[in-house]
Amino acid sequence: MGRMWHAVAALSIASTAAVVAAAADWGLPRAGAAEAPPRMGVVRNSTRRSDGNSYHHVWPPMEFGWRIVLGSLIGVFGAASGSVGGVGGGGIFLPMLALIIGFDPKSSAAMSKCMIMGTCVSTVYYNLKLKHPSLDIPLIDYDLAMLIQPMLMLGVSIGVIFNVVFPDWLVTALLIILFLVTSMKAFLKGVETWKKETIEKREVAQRMHQICQEPERATVIPTGPGDSVRAKNPSAEKSSLLKNVYRKELGLLAFVWLAFLALQIANKYSGHCSTLFWVLNSLQIPVAVGVTMYEAHGLVGGLLGVGGGFIIGPLFLELGIPPQVSSATATFAMMFSSSMSVVEFYILHRFPVPYAAYFIAVAFIAAIIGQHYVRKLIRWLGRASLIIFILASMIFISAISLGGVGISNIIHKIESHQYMGFESMCKYGA
């Protein structure tokens, strides 16, 4: 019974944290935010808001130069590291797109989602062929993804609403606190795992030494249940892609994805704050809760025994899930939420397609390279804790970069004597 309440509490924390993270993610590109003066040659694309005003999207021309070279290098680093840590890399992509490439805040958020989607799709494809580190099952935990994904997507939707209401200073403060605490907990978890791995490696070395010294007694040396696992690591093996795909769970996740996407698109074309607007928003709750409760009925009790990104990755680690499974499952969950955002942004013309295609390709290739070489390094060193340290580092870097951009915007608002209190939910349109 204690396990069940622990898992339910963890699920509640994940949903709440998703709300804060979504509000932070959407906090930077608020429509009312100050807009930097465009560089020479930039393209402006106006989007009509419900209050009658136009928001000007700043899309820089796609031409070879130091900005796109530097942005690509940062994108490669973010995608490679984010794919391994299971966080997507959005905390690095967003500042890079805004400060280096020169997109306006809204377009930066949309382009960042495109890059996250490219990273996630690439990583999921790579992980679909791998097995669990200690069990003969796929590396991706489909049951865990089904449990967490619907509530995560609901949390994102609620976070978008909170972004309109919350002032920028509060969103920035919540982002910094959440990311710093999460990165610290992930780092401490990495240290703990590193120590356990060191003890295991020492025990194995002692056994090998004893075998070399007394070969006649090698057959009677007691072995633990984990020795056969360490001798043959299933995660290093590749299996049939079709065999590792659980069609029932994948179909249910696809249903949630389509349901949320349809409701979000319909919401964009309903009158803002109208009766239909609130009805469509409310319909997301039964979809998320229904699928989660369906899955939780048979899963929650055994969740901790068998074992997405800045939030669900560390959460999975706290539940005792192996780092490889945590990273793969978090990325799998993010693939659905990021792709839903990309489709929605595309329909609303929020990003230039050529730029998006280029950066998606950069993220896709970088994620494959990152996965391949880091997993080789993990197998060579025998330390899966490297995944946890990469996760903690990515969250910390994101806290500094996104927090810095948020603080810069706050300072600009203070200097401009702009209003910094709570807003009305119906003030801003889509």
Q: Please, are residues 234 and 134 in contact by the beta-carbon 8 Å criterion?
A: yes
pLDDT tens column, 319-342: 778 888 888 888 888 888 888 888
Q: Please, are residues 252 and 150 in contact by the beta-carbon 8 Å criterion?
A: no
Please report the pLDDT score of residue 186 as a whole number: 86
pLDDT tens column, 63-94: 888 999 999 999 999 898 888 877 778 888 88
Q: How many angstroms separate the CA atoms of 224 and 219, rounded?
A: 14
| pLDDT at 360 > cutoff 90 | yes
Lowest mean pLDDT of 14-18, 271-275, 312-316, name the range.
14-18
Question: Beta strands 54-59 and 43-48: pairing type?
Answer: antiparallel
Looking at per-residue pLDDT, the higher value among 173 and 40 belongs to 173
Q: Please, are residues 107 and 57 in contact by the beta-carbon 8 Å criterion?
A: yes
| pLDDT at 6 > cutoff 70 | no
> Which residues does 256 contact at the CB level (< 8 Å), separation at least 6?
149, 150, 153, 287, 288, 291, 336
Q: How many angstroms separate the CA atoms of 157 and 355, rounded?
A: 26
Q: Which of 197, 204, 230 is nearest to 388 (CA)?
A: 197
Q: Please, are residues 292 and 147 in contact by the beta-carbon 8 Å criterion?
A: yes
Under DSSP, the state recorded for 101 is I
pLDDT tens column, 200-216: 888 888 888 778 876 65
Query: Tokens 């402006």 belong to which residue?
Result: 44
- Show the tokens assigned to 283: 């319909």
- Show the tokens assigned to 381: 């060193």
Name the band, by pLDDT with cuts 50, 70 and 90, for residue 391: confident
Q: How many residues does the chain have?
A: 430
